[in-house]
Structure 1
Amino acid sequence: MRYILPVILLFLTACSSTRLVESHSPYRAEKPKIEKILIIGMTPLTEFRESFETSLEKEFKKNNVEAMASVRVMEDMLVPGESTEKQLNNLEKYLLKEGYNTVLLSKIVQVESHKDLRSSLFNLKGSYRSFKSDYYSNQGIFHEDINGSKTYHTQTSIYTLPKDRQRELLWQGEIDLKNPKKIKKTINQYVDLLVASLKWDGVLQ
């Protein structure tokens, strides 16, 4: 399977407008196991967010990981673009109580050119200490106007929740979506590439 995955990644990248820029994990040894994960898509495109979260939820479940789309559990707990640190702390307590040990946070930002893309990569690359600081710092994305954008740059990060964990960032990857016209097709390509990348990096078994 380890030898098949590079071929799958190459095929997914070559045959679509969805391209993996890079991915990495700070863990070189055995990685923490994803047992139950909350999936959060940060984008002003509501249809894209809901479809992405539910599609990825299904893929995690296919791989024997309990997963939940944030649109199912967060509507009454957080207000996009207005969430306070106190609300995020309460959300984390709730997630720990419900047995979640990881959170996936996927951000979609607008870029228009290769130069803008490199700048976007540089600005997003700094690792946040936790999903709370990442979400809090970037929640303005929910209200950005990205209509007419030709290229979307996405960054997906997976954070562990236990507070005694030395490293909270488990995995991070960047994927570009070029000229996305059909939302459903683009999301399917995006999710397939993301899952293949997680498997290749040993984050998803």
Structure 2
Amino acid sequence: MKKLVVFAIVCLMGCSSVEMVENYKNPDIVLFDAYKVLIVGMANDSAVRQDFETRLKKEFDKRGVEAMRSIDLFDVAFTNTKKTEKELDRLEEQLLDKDFDAILFTKVAGTEDKQTFRKIMSNLNNFYGGFKDDYMGSQGIYYDQDYYDQFKIYHAETSLYCICVGKERSLIWRGALDIKDPNNIGKTMDDYIKLVVIAMEKQDLVFRNK
């Protein structure tokens, strides 16, 4: 099953700036149904958070699964202050009282600066010219702004947690994704969400692959 998931994700990626690098499913879980899911997108930009949660909710709506955005549940004071473990336990009880049975939680876990040399290093093995040829072939370093590609990698994670009675926010599934220097935020969000949905569908988690 995991090979099928990876294959489907690779096919979807194409020219996308988003790549799934890790796909973990709790080995004790065969399938997982959720009837009311809280969507949490952790971001310090409220507009980005709202946009992401809205786009993801649409995928739930299309598949007939009830979902609610965290921006519709949490007030500003809740997200602006650090929470203790006890406060989160109380939140879980409140979610259970409201008939939620799962949380889909997305966050950017970190960033990493990358620099790739545009020239293919293997060409060095085939180079037998002198200084002039070497200089002429490399002088773009001085003035070509694209000679080096500068970009940033965002490491993001989406995790599915069960908040069922008798279980302590049990991890059902986690996908780790890398986002390469997004230029179009909207398209990047859509690509990200597609990868997450495919992975969950293929593993019978909340969604069913029809």
Q: Structure 1-normalised TM-score? A: 0.73
Looking at CA atoms only, which structure, 1 or 2, has the larger radius of gyration? 2
Contact 2:109-2:156 at 8 Å conserved across structures: yes
Question: Which residue in the other structure is 1:175 paired with?
Answer: 177
Question: Which residue in the other structure is 1:125 paired with?
Answer: none
Following the alignment from structure 1 to structure 2, what is the Cα–Cα distance between the partners of residues 195 and 87? 30
Q: 2:167 aligns with which of 148, 165, 168?
A: 165
Following the alignment from structure 1 to structure 2, what is the Cα–Cα distance between the partners of residues 79 and 49? 12
Count of equivalent residues: 171
Per-residue deviation at 1:187? Answer: 0.7
Question: Which residue in the other structure is 1:98 paired with?
Answer: 98
Task: Structure 2 unaligned segments of length 5 or more: list them.
Answer: 115-149
Identical aligned residues as a percent = 32
Task: Specify which structure has the higher proportion of strand.
Answer: 2
Question: Which residue in the other structure is 2:69 paired with?
Answer: 69
Per-residue deviation at 1:29? Answer: 4.8
Per-residue deviation at 1:86? Answer: 3.4
Q: What does the per-residue CA deviation read over 1:33-78, in whole Å, with 9 as the maximum and x for residues that have no partner?
A: 1111001111223332111111111101211211011011111572
Following the alignment from structure 1 to structure 2, what is the Cα–Cα distance between the partners of residues 11 and 192? 12
Following the alignment from structure 2 to structure 1, what is the Cα–Cα distance between the partners of residues 167 and 90? 19
Whichever residue aligns with residue 9 of structure 2, its letter is L
1:35 aligns with 2:25: no
Q: 1:28 to 1:92 in 2, by over 3 A?
A: closer
Structure 1 moving runs of 4+ over 4 Å: 3-8
Task: Structure 1 unaligned segments of length 5 or more: list them.
Answer: 115-147
Question: Which residue in the other structure is 2:124 paired with?
Answer: none
Q: What does the per-residue CA deviation read over 1:104-155, in whole Å, with 9 as the maximum and x for residues that have no partner?
A: 11110332247xxxxxxxxxxxxxxxxxxxxxxxxxxxxxxxxx97111101
Question: Which residue in the other structure is 2:200 paired with?
Answer: 198
Contact 2:158-2:175 at 8 Å conserved across structures: yes
1:21 aligns with 2:4: no
Per-residue deviation at 1:81? Answer: 4.2
Following the alignment from structure 1 to structure 2, what is the Cα–Cα distance between the partners of residues 21 and 67? 26
Whichever residue aligns with residue 193 of structure 2, its letter is V
Question: Which residue in the other structure is 1:112 paired with?
Answer: 112
Whichever residue aligns with residue 164 of structure 2, its letter is P
Per-residue deviation at 1:14? Answer: 2.0
